[in-house]
Chains A and B, each alone.
Chain A
């Protein structure tokens, strides 16, 4: 059972997160439906409306899950009940109100009935990721103020905070402040896009990354109350934050190659964003070291799996798929095609898995029930379905995007032909999405079972299993190197569109083969790495 009753205030936020995650997945399915048959929903719920739901549901369920984690962890760290519990309940109401408000006002875009005041749009903002209207932004601001106030009042003096907590707090505060620049209306498109990327890029490359690094550090410290762990985690967080910030802040430049901003971004953004791979590669290698050094079995297996998911999607999806398209020569070709969402979907899944890991971590303690066999089984299934589904989906996007480059840019075909050229890959996206949805069902089922039904008292202990390549860390570093090589092969593939062989002699097998090898190879290495890391720790193979 929880030590502090006020920790239970995390539950409503977790519920909101679960519902919004479902909304996001359903919206994703409807977007796929548009590619099969554009007539079904056109005029009722247009593509742009559903896409706005897809993105805003994601943003707000990540917020809700993060709030849940914050309210669960804060009393433990402060060693007392939450300050201002009424305010937290009020915040839950505000969150529900904001979400409903956003979802009710977004459909107004279908007939363009926005309200403008002081040269700013009020009801919705019509730009990717920041569609939510100004009225709701103000309430989000109030929400963040409440969280900040509650956390600061509950915790002891900041001097005693571990670095991980600093990272979480700075990351969460940064997430809000970075929401502002993207929302402002600018007359010029380059200016508008320039500042919109401050929101989107600095979220994923900056504040969210820092906040989740902090949250995982705190989880590790809570599991193992050993001062040595705090030292390891502090060091790890410091390096992670410094390297991620130095590469990510100017690495922003890879969004500024072609939006009407000066050429110096091609140099700065090009070189430095290639180096964004450094902190994430270090994170992948360092996590092995930490696992080896801790010498403790991991009890909350579902949470462990999803933490591994952050790591692998962080390394393969964020940095390696990102590396393939961040070079100016490859970005020139892939920008504005489906190659981009292949990277985007794995990035966002890394954060989604972070949120799920935190929910899984808090749940058994919050409801005061043990981690039993079914909980672990369903949690693991949830992970594997989500992981494999998302990998299939991202791979399909990447391959379709490569075909799109040829048909759209080089042949200059009309849009209907481009859609037809991409169409063979749409089933891959739908199958991948459906598998992710099955994963969600397992996730939601395991959560509801734990919340509502009695659970057998005997906790899960992993069986002894034979060691093999698939459940030990043996050869993990080799896989890291192989993955980097694969992404360089993919880079060559995308770059080869510039060559005479493709442009003049139409030797299409060159880019297509190279990119296919890269995407499919990375899908395989990602799955192998996730399995080795998660199963290795689950079965205690890191202990010897």
Chain B
């Protein structure tokens, strides 16, 4: 699926949904004028839509967290440095609350560099390890780490580096675009073009429902 295809799908569903809602609204408004319109069973429809969206999230959760065969991301147990794995590194990161200064995949405190970005910029394990060495015990990271902890953090940074983050963060290496990530991700059936047809219909349905509700409620108070 090309990048352009993705933009077409996004906006056709969004704008199409708004247009369908407007058309539906115009149709019902004319009917209402002739006093033929039936009251829309909003109580039932609303409850259904809420349950429907919960169901979608429940269905998509196992796909999102790599519980299927074709995994998107490396397993943290298998990424190691000097015999220490990335899970131990994540535990060290929790123990020192790294997220309280850094961001990890963009989430955190913005006081210190983004770790996925730093790992990708550094490139290889020894460079990552040397950066950790350089900053530990300074005013920026005012605490001491054992060699094993530093190895663990290095393994964890390697794991972060190899996450499939749809090309984020923006770098020259990925042409400052997330679009090319779509092509390499279509190998999984739920990210393939066929599956996107389903997502297109889903977003269309939600757009029609929400925009129509807005118009309907605004008109009727």
Contacts and interface: CB of A to CB of B under 8 A. Distances in A.
Contacts of A286: 217
B217 A245 contact: no
A243 interface: yes
A247 B210 contact: yes
B178 interface: yes
A185 B43 CA distance: 39
Interface in A463-506: 497-498, 503
Interface stretch (B22-30, B31-39, B169-177): B169-177
Contact of B218 (A52, A124, A282, A337): A282
Interface string A120-139: 01001111100100000000
A276 B191 CA distance: 24
Contact of B53 (A246, A289, A409): A246
Contact of A114 (B64, B72, B95, B182): B95
A239 B212 CA distance: 12
A116 interface: yes
B168 A332 contact: yes
Nearest to B108: A128
B47 to A, nearest CB: 7
A124 B93 CA distance: 12
A61 interface: no
Given A249-B53, A263-B191, A410-B176, A128 B100 contact: yes
* Interface footprint category on B: 35 or more
B130 interface: no
A243 B212 CA distance: 11
A144 to B, nearest CB: 22
A338 interface: yes
B94 A246 contact: no
Contacts of B17: 271
A126 B91 CA distance: 9
B144 to A, nearest CB: 8
B27 to A, nearest CB: 20
B121 A238 contact: no
Interface in A238-285: 238-239, 241-243, 245-247, 249-250, 252, 255-268, 270-272, 274-275, 278, 281-282, 285
B179 to A, nearest CB: 10
B121 A268 contact: no
Contact of A275 (B75, B163, B206): B206
Which of A282, A332, A333 has the most CB atoms of chain B within a 10 A radius of its CB? A332
Contacts of A112: 92, 95-96, 143, 145, 149
* Interface footprint category on A: 35 or more
Given A249-B50, A260-B72, A262-B190, A275 B110 contact: no
Nearest to A197: B107
A268 B199 contact: yes
A121 to B, nearest CB: 6
B214 A278 contact: yes
A448 interface: no
Contacts of A459: none
Contacts of B132: none
Contacts of B46: 238-239, 242, 246
Contacts of B93: 126
Given A190-B66, A246-B53, A282-B217, A111 B143 contact: yes
Contact of A259 (B95, B105, B112, B218): B105
Interface in A317-341: 328, 332-333, 335-338, 340-341
Which of A109, A131, A259, A409 has the most CB atoms of chain B within a 10 A radius of its CB? A259
Nearest to B92: A112
A336 B213 contact: no
Interface string A95-130: 000000000000001111110100001001111100
B65 A264 contact: no
B97 A109 contact: yes
Interface string B103-132: 111111111111001000100000000000
B99 A267 contact: no
B200 A267 contact: yes
Interface string B206-221: 1101110110011001
Interface in A409-456: 409-410, 412, 415
B29 to A, nearest CB: 18
Nearest to A115: B95
B88 to A, nearest CB: 10
21 contacts: A51-B101, A190-B65, A191-B65, A191-B66, A192-B90, A246-B210, A247-B210, A252-B57, A259-B106, A262-B72, A263-B191, A266-B6, A266-B178, A267-B200, A268-B199, A275-B207, A328-B10, A335-B106, A336-B103, A336-B110, A338-B110
Given A47-B101, A272-B206, A332-B168, 14 more contacts: A112-B92, A112-B149, A126-B96, A188-B65, A189-B163, A190-B64, A258-B106, A259-B107, A260-B73, A262-B72, A278-B210, A278-B214, A336-B106, A408-B114
